[in-house]
Structure 1
């Protein structure tokens, strides 16, 4: 008989304050964000100290946590100001920092005493001896390398008391995570200091050059097959029991630069699946609708990464690919009048009369309908809502709630 020991944390990405609030409303127990320094997403919507404070207050109100990623690899001079940075995070109320560089770990431990430190996946922790080493150094959690298998997680859990965090959904590196320098060479942007240009996602060709000035593609054919180093994305929605039963404490979703549509959908799905399993492990049944929901925000094919064996060419973007259904985030519910069935919507993308739309909300609620009438905020009838962030009203036959999201298939 299966017994539950501990429900794992769902840890969602939050590239902006708005995404932080969305992630928590849609089921995340914790979010990870970036500050203006020391992180690996220099182009994400990194947080100011004031935004961090507002995010921490919101999270506390919803019994959630906020972690800050400060996981860059420092070169000489990069660590300047780190002590003050970490002290400020501690005083704001950040729950932990995610760090990979030993220099930053030491600075944080000495100059910001009391601020918990988690080891970043960039440090490539793949065995329990490594976890125990960092535990002895005062770290309370280690984010495992994406290359760790499920069998290795089982062994790690049996030999250490440190908290284990593991990725369960999102983009994968084609190189060993945290060790890639393609971007450095190809675009002079340092991947390990926040500037990755994702060179592995580019399209490549292979040429024969018989003499200077002449080149012929050796990949030419029908159909043309672009050379690719691009990995498919990870999804562990089918394997929740393995993650929980092998003692993973925190289930991490990748994507601080992803959209509100992505953050809300993925958090919502994993919240539903994990709650369903933990409520009754013995009678748990995977629901295909959960995976179908993830496909609505997928950008690439989905696979289970390294958890059940080394990825093959089937986990790279070669050959004919599955056609991924494209959905657009078109609005967010601000208010709903149950008597009139009129919803007030903040527009996020163009939509209009005749469109078939879907509403979804926290708790995995869904409703579909065709838009029959639209009014602007002054109650004037309109055919479409083309202006960004405009306020519109429409009749919604199924009750919806504030912060529910409206989308449509492209």
Structure 2
């Protein structure tokens, strides 16, 4: 019998973490202000880390903290106190990539569950078993692996396995990149990647400085290292039946809208499979949900074939999305039918919006009235960032519900 895998969602800050939990994640992974590989993702102060753990544990969810940089000597001084703090606040596991950090954790906080980050390039069963023998509870598989390889590792390894199933793909091997270091001095392996692979490039001949020659694979453009995003939703049955223990969504630097929408889409898909495996099909509305958030064109990565030209985006570096996040419901008064909403994008009376709830049904409504919460006056438009308004709702609505409009309806 196939074990139901954990759904693991990204959390770049406290608000994203709460949204991921409320929209269906079994666990979240996040980073502190240091020692993780997303230095520009917002990240968590000591106090926020504690609050995140308490919020998750109160709802039966888990929190994994990234400590997966490749540290230099200067990074090691403050690391022991940080590790002890993570144990003190009852973090569920740490994600590490460096052997020295792993052994330091084993010495200082021996009871802490340790997961081996994808940054450690875990691509074969021998490596996975070696980490288990050293004391790892889980190994995160590299994204450069096929379904066939993953199944073989599952057969030969008695340790928890985690794999990415959705999100950005790195042009370099599991993130082991020096482009950012070379161009900007920002060390991608210590959390400061400048995403140089997403830039537009041209060729300069040494004796003719300033004269740029375009680089073109064909007539589509010059973003020669710009990979499509991974999306395994259409193949979620194969993913589940591969036997991995945790299915991971990439995206700690993505939006609140992304954290909620992608998490809920995969939550519904996983639950639907286990409700009736024999008759399971991927529903159109789940794929539509993944189109609504900001993303690049989708690919299956290495899962079924070696990536080729069709897995790159040559003509642009921008993102696509079909919906804009315009408001977040803070509370709802059933007696009056009004919700208190925090504006996140321009909203106005007469606009048709979609009501996307953590657990309740998705529905559409037309904004018929808005009241400024501070002045108590009727308004026709809410243009100010994070303006608090009251809005009449046609149906009850949950706290933390996302309000969004079609991009075409701007």
Give the TM-score range, shorter chain. over 0.9
Q: 2:242 aligns with which of 241, 246, 270?
A: 246
Where in structure 2 are the equivalents of 1:363-378 lying within 5 Å?
363=359, 365-377=361-373, 378=375
Shift of 1:116: 0.8
Distance 1:291 1:55, change over 3 A: same
Q: 1:337 aligns with which of 333, 337, 346?
A: 333
2:110 & 2:217 partners in 1: Cα distance?
61
Hey, what does 1:77 align to over in structure 2? 74
Counterpart of 1:113 in 2: which secondary structure?
A: coil
Hey, what does 2:295 align to over in structure 1? 299
2:212 & 2:80 partners in 1: Cα distance?
55
Query: Is 2:295–2:321's contact at 8 Å kept on the other side of the alignment?
Result: no
Query: Is 1:14–1:256's contact at 8 Å kept on the other side of the alignment?
Result: yes
Q: State the superposition RMSD in angstroms.
A: 2.1
Where in structure 2 are the equivalents of 1:271-282 lying within 5 Å?
271-282=267-278
Query: Is 1:301–1:321's contact at 8 Å kept on the other side of the alignment?
Result: no
Hey, what does 2:51 align to over in structure 1? 54
1:100 & 1:117 partners in 2: Cα distance?
10
Query: Is 2:141–2:162's contact at 8 Å kept on the other side of the alignment?
Result: yes
1:216 & 1:108 partners in 2: Cα distance?
50
1:159-196 deviation per Cα after TM superposition (whole angstroms, max 9, x unaligned): 11110000011110011113211111111111101111
Where in structure 2 are the equivalents of 1:6-405 lying within 5 Å?
6-207=3-204, 212-213=208-209, 215-218=211-214, 225-319=221-315, 324-363=320-359, 365-377=361-373, 378-405=375-402
Counterpart of 2:248 in 1: which secondary structure?
A: strand
Hey, what does 2:2 align to over in structure 1? 5
Shift of 1:214: 6.2
Distance 1:145 1:395, change over 3 A: same
Counterpart of 2:173 in 1: which secondary structure?
A: coil
1:192 & 1:221 partners in 2: Cα distance?
29
1:219 & 1:263 partners in 2: Cα distance?
35
Using the size of structure 2 for normalisation, the TM-score is 0.94
Query: Is 1:325–1:409's contact at 8 Å kept on the other side of the alignment?
Result: no
Using the size of structure 1 for normalisation, the TM-score is 0.94
Q: Which moved more, 1:178-187 or 1:161-170?
A: 178-187
Query: Is 2:220–2:315's contact at 8 Å kept on the other side of the alignment?
Result: no
1:280-303 deviation per Cα after TM superposition (whole angstroms, max 9, x unaligned): 111111101111110111321011
2:318 & 2:74 partners in 1: Cα distance?
46
2:223 & 2:391 partners in 1: Cα distance?
48
2:218 & 2:167 partners in 1: Cα distance?
32
Distance 1:401 1:185, change over 3 A: same
Counterpart of 2:262 in 1: which secondary structure?
A: helix
2:109 & 2:402 partners in 1: Cα distance?
40
Residue ranges of structure 1 left out of the alignment (5+ in a row): none
1:336 & 1:218 partners in 2: Cα distance?
55
Distance 1:214 1:342, change over 3 A: closer
1:188-223 deviation per Cα after TM superposition (whole angstroms, max 9, x unaligned): 1111011110000011123567x5356253458996
1:329-381 deviation per Cα after TM superposition (whole angstroms, max 9, x unaligned): 11111222344432221112221112221110123631112212211125411
Q: Which moved more, 1:95-104 or 1:241-250?
A: 241-250
